[in-house]
Structure 1
Amino acid sequence: AGRLGSTVFVANLDYKVGWKKLKEVFSMAGVVVRADILEDKDGKSRGIGTVTFEQSIEAVQAISMFNGQLLFDRPMHVKMDERALPKGD
């Protein structure tokens, strides 16, 4: 146990932020494997997304760098994505 996931959950995103912008911003913290924006059934952003890094240390770094930071005048809420955590053996 105690293994950290390498995916962060990002909330309170401006609706014009797409996955490319998310990836571009979070690349400052490490190597982004993928970035996703969660959309509603009409394909509109729900203002939340996930960013997966190559290493968990990069995810930790991203949280300290970006939690509370403004992106298009909205403070991002960044935390570990619990759903992506590796399950215990």
Structure 2
Amino acid sequence: MSIYVGNLSYQVGQQDLKEVFSEYGTVKNVQLPTDRETGRVRGFAFVEMETEAEESAAIEALDSAEWMGRALRVNKAKPREDRGGGGGGRREGNGGGYSRRY
């Protein structure tokens, strides 16, 4: 399991998150997604702790806490949903119109 951390400052770094969460236990991993085009932090992260008890302690302490000028959203991460393959959703046929015969 991991922890979702939302509403992060765009100035935050992985080390910043590791320091804050290490107050509640051993941090195994920090993922800080960035925008593909700009390389800028996207405003959320995932933090993995050593035990579930440490995760719960961090969530309880940090959810709604103000950090770097922002009120954090901290909760258990939900499993990623399968969004299916990409694709334009193109329909074959007459484009949704109707045809009239005389």
Give the gaps of 5 or more residues in structure 2. Answer: 81-102
In structure 2, the partner of 1:75 is 71
Count of aligned pairs between the two proteins: 79
Report the AA paired with residue 76 of structure 2. Answer: M
Query: Radius of gyration: which is bigger?
Result: 2
In structure 2, the partner of 1:63 is 59
CA deviations over 1:6-61 (Å, ceiling 9, x no partner): x1000000000011101110111110001111111121100000100010111111
Percent identity for Structure 1 against Structure 2:
32
CA deviations over 1:52-89 (Å, ceiling 9, x no partner): 001011111110010001111101100001127xxxxx
For residues 1-40 of structure 1, the aligned pairs below 5 Å read 5=1, 7-40=2-35
In structure 2, the partner of 1:87 is none
Give the gaps of 5 or more residues in structure 1. Answer: 85-89
Which has the bigger relative contact order, CA under 8 A and spacing at least 6?
1
Q: Runs of 4 or more off by more than 2 Å in structure 1? A: none
Structure richer in strand, relative to its length: 1
- Please tell me whether residue 52 in structure 1 is matched to residue 48 in structure 2: yes
